[in-house]
Chains A and B, each alone.
Chain A
Amino acid sequence: KAGVTQTPRYLIKTRGQQVTLSCSPISGHRSVSWYQQTPGQGLQFLFEYFSETQRNKGNFPGRFSGRQFSNSRSEMNVSTLELGDSALYLCASSKGGAYNEQFFGPGTRLTVL
């Protein structure tokens, strides 16, 4: 069974640009969650999508948005990039129930210059 894949693995952008990250969940998983990992703030929850609907949202500004497609693949978008958006962005998929295990992808390393 293929794991969670994230593309691209590395990305370099400049301030003010926007970026789109992609996550393909494990087959059969309907929930996709996104997390931001930085040395200063640690792992922080961005949002979760379940069956194409946002089910949970963390405390991030509106510049961070996401969506989920009918095949459960998800994208997250960050507009007007700031230096502080440099981070490892992790995607996790699960079947969606509280008892279900979340499987994490390898992450996308975003560097904002």
Chain B
Amino acid sequence: AQSVTQLDSQVPVFEEAPVELRCNYSSSVSVYLFWYVQYPNQGLQLLLKYLSGSTLVESINGFEAEFNKSQTSFHLRKPSVHISDTAEYFCAVRLESSGSRLTFGEGTQLTVNP
């Protein structure tokens, strides 16, 4: 069975500082990888995904993540955060054979302070 570990439950940073949210997964088969963001009282929004091809994927709002197969990691980074990036971030994996089923990590609360 696959599992996802987000290594930090809370990450406080100052505005304009860089940030890295860490995600490791375990699976005996190939997986697809995702980062979702959840703002208070809302559902989940897809931030970015790795399906195949280039191991570095980027979102439209400045986040990027790199798939590292040897380290089974998919860390999320942003070089300069804004107050509006304050939210909870979830890493998730999906098996090719499991339809749409996602397995989520525990989540990382990112708080950006002025």
- Give the interface of A toward B (CB within 8 A): 4, 31, 33, 35, 42-45, 48, 50, 55-56, 58, 90, 92, 94, 96, 98-107
- CA distance in complex: A58, B101 (Å): 9
User: In the bound complex, how far is the Cα of B89 from the Cα of A43, in angstroms?
Assistant: 12
B32 located at the interface, meaning its Cβ lies under 8 Å from any Cβ of chain A in the complex: yes
B43 interfacial by beta-carbon distance below 8 Å:
yes
Task: Known A43-B90, A101-B46, A101-B49; judge A92-B104 contact (CB<8 A).
Answer: no
Residues of A with C-beta under 8 A to B97: 98
- Expressed in whole angstroms, the Cα–Cα distance for A72 and B106 within the complex equals 30
- Which of A56, A58, A99, A104 is in CB contact (< 8 Å) with B44? A104
Total count of chain B residues near the partner, CB < 8 A: 24
Give complex CA distance A44, B90 in Å.
12
User: What residues of chain A lie closer than 8 Å to B36, measured between beta carbons?
Assistant: 104
Main secondary structure of the interface of A (DSSP, over half): strand
Other-chain contact of A105, B43, B90, B101, B106 (Cβ < 8 Å): B43
Total A-B pairs, Cβ < 8 A: 66
| In the bound complex, CA of A50 to CA of B100 (Å) | 9
* Nearest residue, chain B, Cβ from A98: B96
Interface residues of B (CB under 8 A from A): 32, 36, 41-46, 49, 51, 90, 94, 96-107
A105 to B41, CA, bound (A): 11
Q: Which residue of B lies closest to A99 (CB)?
A: B51
Q: Is the CB of B99 within 8 A of A50?
A: yes
Contact partners of B94 in chain A: CB under 8 A: 98
Residue of A nearest to B32 (CB): A98
Flag if B51 contacts A106 (CB, 8 Å).
no
Beyond A92-B102, A94-B100, 10 additional pairs, beta carbon < 8 A: A42-B105, A42-B107, A48-B99, A48-B101, A50-B100, A92-B44, A98-B97, A102-B46, A102-B102, A105-B43
